[in-house]
Structure 1
């Protein structure tokens, strides 16, 4: 996947997410199954991980620096995302938060020179920047498919 396709895919999620504004609050907060997330939680999850990328990955990629050594507590980040989604924030505000942070992520990503997308990242494996972003896009699509299937079955 090249840079232009990565940008396109990251932007596509914005349009899809904005289409969710018409959902009722019942479906917005309904859990996919007992003890799991709902749509609001997933959108907040996108926000949390986009923020993580903006703070802990993109600046280091832009400046060709090694990623900082940090302890990443995936469960804590995801739990905080769920708390935020259910904190009383409105659906429109949560979606708008997502749109703003995703546009920022896309803007920062667009500033990375095209040729850098074929270079390996120093993250303990030989994945390229394009491969790294491809994995993030697959993650986005997995959740998008999950939400689309839930909406159809609701």
Structure 2
């Protein structure tokens, strides 16, 4: 497996390339009934916060964590969407997302990634959980795409 912490670093790297002068593109839905790019950024921000504050402290050897209900997932996703469309500036949203990810990475650097626990009865290691988060990132990085939103090199 690739280093999951290194893989998590690709999210802030992708965000740093966004040209915040083209914010309108980020707040418009990708298509009818779809999320905006800003909402996707907030989505990762909120899930990073959940991972850092609500999961990691309890991911200890042998711990049995409960699975989130679909209502809990939907509620967190809705909060992220609402935050992204609350009037926050794209630059601020990106800064918060980068900062939250850096906090998460810093916390993980001191952890034993082989630590095993269960979530909803499924045995996982912290490495597997983190790899899953990195795959989730990669899905959203592809959605953000390489449009004409990349900062020019000056």
- Please state which band the TM-score falls in when normalised by the shorter chain: 0.7 to 0.9
Once superposed, which parts of structure 1, at least 4 consecutive aligned residues long, lie more than 4 Å away?
Answer: 67-72
1:111-145 superposed Cα distances (whole Å, 9 cap, x missing partner)? 103xxx23432212122222111111111100111
Q: Please, what is the CA RMSD of the aligned residues?
A: 2.0
| Residue pair 1:121, 1:128 contacting (<8 A) in 2 also | yes
In the alignment, structure 2 segments of 5+ residues that lack a partner are 149-154
Partner of residue 121, structure 1: 117
What is the number of equivalent residue pairs in this alignment?
A: 145
Q: Partner residue of 2:88?
A: 89
Q: Which is helix-richer, 1 or 2?
A: 1
Q: Work out which of the residue numbers 47, 54, 57 in structure 2 matches 1:49.
A: 47
Alignment of 1:16-95 (within 5 A): 16-22=14-20, 24-61=22-59, 63-64=60-61, 66=63, 69=66, 71-72=68-69, 73-95=72-94
Structure 2 length-normalised TM: 0.84
Alignment partners' CA distance in 2, 1:36 and 1:129: 31
Structure-1-length-normalised TM-score: 0.84
- In proportion to residue count, which structure has more strand? 2
Structure 1 unaligned regions, length at least 5: none
